[in-house]
Structure 1
């Protein structure tokens, strides 16, 4: 049998050839890490997703195999500084300041003159990030945006950001996401181990860190957190945009629904996942439900993207707490997009039970959420939903296949005591609340379909 090292190198080599071949065929140069991110169709081509994942999985496993285990652990342990430094540069607008500087970049003294941060701090933090391929150090203490750091930019100018600090993250989902991780999530991490060892102390580490009994959503409603609530809305508005709209339109089975059937987006934020459904299925009606503050934000979203939708009655924006009885009875479809993972099992069951109590015999429940996959082969998993990884890769392809998912699982544990779930976990939730599991459609965002039992 081929040695693990040789097998890993072969996976990298063969898939790099395939990737370069695809770009050559399209007469498109492969993107340089040194240049700002300028998306092309190939960047999001689903036919290349597996190729990229295999390269990343093999490269990461090769690194873990050949590097000294001491060095690996020394690199892992201070991982909180990745989060802290990314959050810092977003907070003080470094990527935005560098946006107009071009490839020649700016000296840290020039950056300091704009954001007021000590040049020595800027130099060290930017060098830490550039060492990890976020930003490029062009010449000593001169930094420019690169492929990664350019994605940290906000949509507003530095002057506009300073003039409207509460709305500084509007339209910038990735910057919002990173800022939140470096804010309440990083603060909560300091209490992570203590909370897990003493779970009766609080609902989650978040509650200890922020000295509150409130869930994060309710905490956002408190005075002084207006900008955090708005940042969360910006992050979630981009949540649906990260996924092809076909996931949602196909997931609800809209073509098979009848004229006037109602589809309810439960905990839908502003309803960004409903927008492609609204456009694809003119014969259907939609209800977007969330807490009152999100509904206010949703009004602006729909006025911008489909101003006729709400006045026509085809889209209804409804303030609703999904821990209370569902007001829309007998809908054709109730769906939850990246909601259930926010909650521990006992709360998730309450949410699904309220939907089951409101459902008609023909109602469907559709859950769009992450699928947790074991690092080893799972004999209980449906072979049709799990692709076998090539030797010697981990069954879930490591950081390439489950890196973000496993990080998100820890985030859910840290902030909400929520969880990412396996196929078995979802089936058990359904069985406990009167929903019969029908199918799992794997993909970038898996779709779990249930019928009323």
Structure 2
């Protein structure tokens, strides 16, 4: 039996072949976005109408999704149920039944909701995601920009508007049993992708030249990076700093043979760094959660502990300049960047952004090297404190 994925792939292939045949038959150039390529094929009747219809349909779909988000239609099903009548939905989201019905039925062809007959609406995988607010923050992204222009506050985002809360996204998630755990699980799964493997940091930073020194893993979660570093370099000691609730869960999972060299310490990275004179302070995937205003605070909190020559290693996304990376990779990184804007007003940063951020935090932060190893999703920014 042919899967839906295979059907879609076949459809794409067949339609691209038809388009290519059309271009050749009419002596038209291949598809391109370059300015000097003639665009007359865009206005040919055989292709203009489908193209325009697709654009209009996409805009209409976004408008409908925005309505679902704004009126909480997807999350208005009775508790514990995946089905509801239009009357039940209307009562819960406080809209007239005809308005709810027209919005939901307009989304049925896009596989968002389904109707079982007799006016019974059922969830689909897509509408369940809407109900869990995975997409609502994106739909309220521009609303947040208009409401709080230029804001760097973590509680003035699309997430806040979508969820009707003044709490920071992570604080808000913590109020709902299971939500923080699901988010953490999703991030853990993302982090375990090949491009996020600890091996890239292990193989592309000279840990072996440090000697018998201490690494402070600031915001190091449960030690996903400190543990492999300690296993690979027996002379190194690692201190993993995290919030108390994280440490409580992480400490018992530490391999017994590392307990003499890997330890956990409760610490809020917005407060002064308590471990003075460590050789390396590692911040792995920390600063992307925060706007420049708060990332600067995190960096400045390190300063009282630093000595001339101290190293700060940032392991983060480094956004490429347009055209520097394969299109799919660049698209993924840019979507991640806007996703952080929607969630916390955080950001992924280009080279110039990293340079500006560190200079703003303190002129004594000097970038020694910056780049992304081939095969890695995260870049390595080697910084030295030069007082």
TM range (shorter): 0.5 to 0.7
TM-score normalised by length of structure 1: 0.56
Contact 2:336 2:348 in 1 (8 A): yes
Q: Deviations over 1:84-112 (max 9, x none)?
A: xxxxxxxxxxxxxxxxxxxxxxxxxxxxx
Contact 1:237 1:270 in 2 (8 A): no
Number of the residue aligned with 2:368: 438
Task: Give, in angstroms, the shift of residue 271 of structure 1.
Answer: 1.9
Q: Which runs of 5+ in 1 are unaligned?
A: 1-31, 35-57, 83-114, 119-123, 131-151, 153-178, 376-393
Return the index of the structure with the highest Cα Rg. 2
For 1:151-166, list aligned pairs within 5 A: none
Task: Give, in angstroms, the shift of residue 238 of structure 1.
Answer: 3.1
Contact 1:368 1:446 in 2 (8 A): yes
Number of the residue aligned with 1:412: 340
TM-score normalised by length of structure 2: 0.65
For 1:56-75, list aligned pairs within 5 A: 69-74=51-56
Task: Give, in angstroms, the shift of residue 362 of structure 1.
Answer: 2.3
Task: Give, in angstroms, the shift of residue 360 of structure 1.
Answer: 2.0
Task: Give, in angstroms, the shift of residue 333 of structure 1.
Answer: 1.2
Number of the residue aligned with 1:28: none
Q: Deviations over 1:45-66 (max 9, x none)?
A: xxxxxxxxxxxxx99989xx98
Task: Give, in angstroms, the shift of residue 185 of structure 1.
Answer: 4.2
Number of the residue aligned with 1:397: 326
Q: Is residue 212 of structure 1 aligned with residue 142 of structure 2? A: no
Task: Give, in angstroms, the shift of residue 128 of structure 1.
Answer: 5.4
Task: Give, in angstroms, the shift of residue 373 of structure 1.
Answer: 2.5
Number of the residue aligned with 1:291: 243
What secondary structure does 1:414 align onto?
helix
Number of the residue aligned with 2:309: 362
Q: Which runs of 5+ in 2 are unaligned?
A: 7-29, 35-40, 66-79, 84-105, 113-124
Question: Using the alignment, how far apart are the partners of 2:130 and 2:228 within structure 1?
Answer: 29
Question: Using the alignment, how far apart are the partners of 1:448 and 1:422 within structure 2?
Answer: 12
Q: Which of residues 202, 219, 231 is equivalent to 2:182?
A: 231
Number of the residue aligned with 1:448: 381
- Structure with a larger share of its residues in helix: 1
Q: Deviations over 1:345-393 (max 9, x none)?
A: 1111111111233222221111111122233xxxxxxxxxxxxxxxxxx
The 3 A distance-change label for structure 1 pair 313 and 374 is same
Contact 1:287 1:318 in 2 (8 A): yes
Q: Which of residues 128, 135, 138 is equivalent to 1:186?
A: 135
Contact 1:251 1:366 in 2 (8 A): no
Structure 1 segments, 4+ long, off by >6 Å, are 58-62, 79-82, 124-127, 179-182
Q: Deviations over 1:254-302 (max 9, x none)?
A: 111111x1112211222212232122111111112222222223235x3
